[in-house]
Structure 1
Amino acid sequence: MTGYADYLFLLSPPQPVIDEVARYKKASAKHIGDFSSMNSNAHISVMTAERQKPYFAENTLSRLEQRLAIMPPILLHIDGFKYFEHLHDKKTIYAAIRNTPAVDDWFELMRKNLGIKKVFLPHVTVCRNISNEQFNTLWPHFRHKRWTEPFWANELTIARRETFEPFAKWQTLKRISFKGNKGLAETTNKTDSNEQINLF
């Protein structure tokens, strides 16, 4: 351990969704060749915390775990494909998560529990950071695809890798199951304590 670590907080869909995203990645590679997210497993990124001191970060995680565990599982729906535009004429194609008030409330609670200030759009990346030319080749194949798939997000996975190790791979540090079943309103009230944990 070099003294610093990066942490990734993510939601993993079930294996059929992972397999279907892998199929789309493989089909895309046939058209545009290798791309940066080609070999990564399908997931929904919640937060990345880079260059953290493991002792302090993992101490904070232990304090956060109780808050996260009382969150209820959430039913999510993949609903077709969309894309993000980035700087330098790059784009990312992703499987969209259907936006509903319940989903918005759940992710808002997740943001609050993790101390995330930035609003994010839940999604499952398929082709990340591809060029305009690659995008123009692929998008006609994705544009009208009607893939709809419900799945439950039952746990938060926390992965860790060494910050300054060039070939470091993400390794699962902890999985926190969502055990709440009394509704978001009650869960939200329980997390309204004066204690703020914003070390990330």
Structure 2
Amino acid sequence: MTGYADYLFLLSPPEEVKLEIDRYKRASARLIGQYASMNSPAHISLAQVERQKPFFADSTIQRMELGFNTIPPVQLYIDGFKYFTHLHNKHTIYAAIRITPAVDEWLISIRKVLGIKKAIIPHITVVRNINVEYFNTLWPHFRHKQLVMPFFVSEIKVVKRETFANQPKWEAYKTFRFGGKIMTVVNNLK
């Protein structure tokens, strides 16, 4: 043990969403071969905190539970696919989460509890950090897909890994349930 840990705060969609995203991951692998995020389970990353002393981080994370209890569960919608462009001409293709004023307010509440100022772009990664050649092969298959899937999120998960391990692996650490009434987002289809 090096004495430092990394923490990832995430939302885990229900099994039917995970299976659908996995279907797109496997189809992508058939076209471009194996890639780094191929076996990662579908999730929405909210924040990653790196290189923390666990005895400090543990108490901070435990205090966050009170804040999460004031945030209601929410209904989110996957609404098609988009992509990020990274340095060195790399791309990430993801299932986009529909942003409405209600979802935006919900995310602001999450940011306050997590103590982050940066905006969150909620998404579920399908193919992460691939070169432009692979992106050009895959994007035509995603560009016009009309995947729309509603799902409820009722908890936030925290996973943890040792910072300086030879092959660090994320492991379940804590799960906090959202409290309050369920927040249903009005379905504003285009």
Instruction: Say whether the fold is shared (TM-score over 0.5).
Output: yes
Give me the TM-score of the superposition, normalised by structure 2. Answer: 0.94
Long gaps (5+) in structure 1:
184-200
The one-letter code of the counterpart of 1:121 is I
Q: Which residue does the alignment assign to 2:19?
A: 19
Are 2:94 and 1:94 aligned?
Answer: yes
Partner deviation per Cα, 1:44-66 (whole Å, 9 max, x = no partner) = 00000000000000111111111
Q: Which residue does the alignment assign to 2:119?
A: 119
* Percent of residue pairs identical: 58
Give me the TM-score of the superposition, normalised by structure 1. Answer: 0.89
The one-letter code of the counterpart of 2:10 is L
Distance in 2, Cα, partners of 1:26 & 1:81: 16
The one-letter code of the counterpart of 1:136 is N
Distance in 1, Cα, partners of 2:122 & 2:55: 29
Q: What's the CA shift for 1:26?
A: 0.5
Q: 1:51-200 residue pairs with structure 2 within 5 A?
A: 51-181=51-181
Distance in 2, Cα, partners of 1:136 & 1:2: 41
Q: Which residue does the alignment assign to 1:196?
A: none
- Secondary structure at 1:133 match in 2: helix
Partner deviation per Cα, 1:63-92 (whole Å, 9 max, x = no partner) = 111111221001100000000111100010
Q: What's the CA shift for 1:118?
A: 1.1
Counting matched residue pairs gives: 183
- Give structure 1 regions of 4+ aligned residues with deviation exceeding 6 angstroms: none
- Secondary structure at 1:125 match in 2: strand
Q: What's the CA shift for 1:182?
A: 8.4
Distance in 2, Cα, partners of 1:124 & 1:168: 22
Distance in 2, Cα, partners of 1:156 & 1:13: 10
Q: Which residue does the alignment assign to 1:31?
A: 31
Q: What's the CA shift for 1:168?
A: 2.2
Q: What's the CA shift for 1:102?
A: 0.5
In the superposition, relative to structure 1, how do residues 182 and 38 fare at CA in structure 2: closer, same or farther (>3 Å)?
A: closer
